Amino acid sequence: MNEQGFKDYNLSEDIIRALDSLGYQKPTEVQSRVIPFALEKKDMTVKSHTGSGKTAAYGIPICEMVEWEENRPQALILTPTRELADQVKQDIMNIGRYKRIKATAIYGKQPFARQKVQLTHKNHVVVGTPGRIMDHIEKQTIDLEQVRFLVIDEADEMLSMGFIEQVEKIIRDLPKDRMTMLFSATLPKDVENLCHRYMNHPLDIELKTEGRTTSQIEHSLYMVKDENKLQLLRDVTIVENPDSCIIFCRTQVRVEVVFKELDKRGYPCDRIHGGMEQDNRFQVMNAFKRGEFRYLIATDVAARGIDIDSISHVINYDLPLENESYVHRTGRTGRAGHTGKAISFATPNEEKFVLNIEKYIGFEIPRKTSPSKEAVAHVKAAFEAKMRNQPAVKKDRSSRMDQEILKLYFNGGKKKKIRAVDFVGTIAKIEGVSANDIGIITIEDNASYVDILNGKGRLVLHKMKDTTIKGKLLKVQEANKK
């Protein structure tokens, strides 16, 4: 399908090196369609399903084109949810790691004052949710004068969550001389109108998929009374015996009910929903990404930042009431060349929603009958054996890169009059270390963080225990991983 490699795009050595470390081998279709035009700074709308590699499609050219010397944000990326903002920030930081690109994520339920301080630091890229970005614009705590690249990610989701007006207000505050890229699984009329108003002759890129969902996903539907759903869920999970599964529910209360039932029965599971503290949500999300448990019970919004290639099953315990939501949910499986299964439960009075979804995706979802007692009994031993086994730990894309990079913490910063150049000058004098081995440096009031590249971290950590910076001996240790 696509013979080009990333080296064919004339990317800088630092970006190519990061892509190699992250295991990017060949561009996906969306990457091969978007990257060349993005490097030419063309506006574009991209109709692309989740799991297609779209974050790297815009992240690679942005990291290539931002100028390291400029301290103010040059790229603004808008996402509908906090989880997705955090995921995108991590991806940008990884792609731009060797170029020392700094990105920050700005979203609600985080202390505003802390964000205000973050935004005074050097930031090449700001990723955020519309509401909190708008707050910073109104309070004049974010400088957008140098923004040359705007990305609106999952625009259809922004629309369904009621953010489009805020997005428009933000766009009006940005410099007119900029490149704008809009990504969306679907293109509702309001999103199209947004493109026409604020984009300059945008290219329309639509990925070839069969209808609105990919052929990598096997869809099925069970008609079931609401009171029988828990029993059906137990039977279906035993028969399907998934390696990794997301179970979607409509409400937070429903998530808790399903979680407690599965947990009581010994399923390796956890849950995530909007009623949980943000830090707790991130912990659960990261544990699921690492493969520490097999079943994640989630509401729609809470699962938006899950970017995992190997989810084998998605189960709609509650049928989504919006067509786009069905596409987004089921798009969590069948990603990056893997096959997956999307299983939906619908009650008799939800038949009209089923018909609407089928009309929208362009095919009839095959109906299935509940597994028989014999079928369940036949495979129960295999299911229980898998339940006893620890799931295979999934390696994060950045794990190889993290082996080469060590983040160091120093207990001194701006209040001790320490600057980034002081760290560079001191560390580069260590025998066997050069300025090229020093990555991103973050100076806070009372602490500093320095990335040491190329596997030199342990050496620098050891030497800096007895080395002064501007005449001050600082405590140094490996930084906590966030």
Angle at which helices 130-138 and 164-172 pack, to 10 degrees? Answer: 40
E strands of 120-257, at which residues?
Answer: 125-128, 149-152, 179-184, 203-206, 217-223, 245-248
Is the Cβ–Cβ distance between 318 and 273 less than 8 Å? no
* Domains assigned to the chain: 6-206 (3.40.50.300), 218-388 (3.40.50.300), 402-478 (3.30.70.330)
pLDDT 10s per residue in the chain (482 long)? 446 789 999 999 999 999 998 888 889 889 999 999 999 999 999 988 666 688 999 999 999 999 999 999 999 999 998 888 988 999 999 999 999 999 999 999 889 999 999 999 899 999 999 999 999 999 999 999 999 999 999 888 888 788 989 999 999 999 999 999 999 887 888 888 888 889 999 999 987 654 455 668 899 999 999 999 999 999 999 999 998 999 999 999 999 999 999 999 999 999 999 888 878 888 898 888 888 899 999 998 766 656 666 788 999 999 998 887 888 788 777 766 678 899 999 999 999 999 999 988 889 999 999 999 999 999 999 998 888 887 766 666 666 677 788 999 999 999 999 999 999 999 999 999 998 899 989 898 899 999 999 889 999 999 999 999 999 999 999 998 65
Burial class for 386, CB neighbours closer than 10 Å (0-12, 13-18, 19+): middle
* Global pTM exceeds 0.85: no
The residue whose two tokens read 């140094």 is 476
Tokens representing residue 165 in the block: 């007006």
Q: What angle do CA 190, 192, 196 make, to 5 degrees?
A: 115
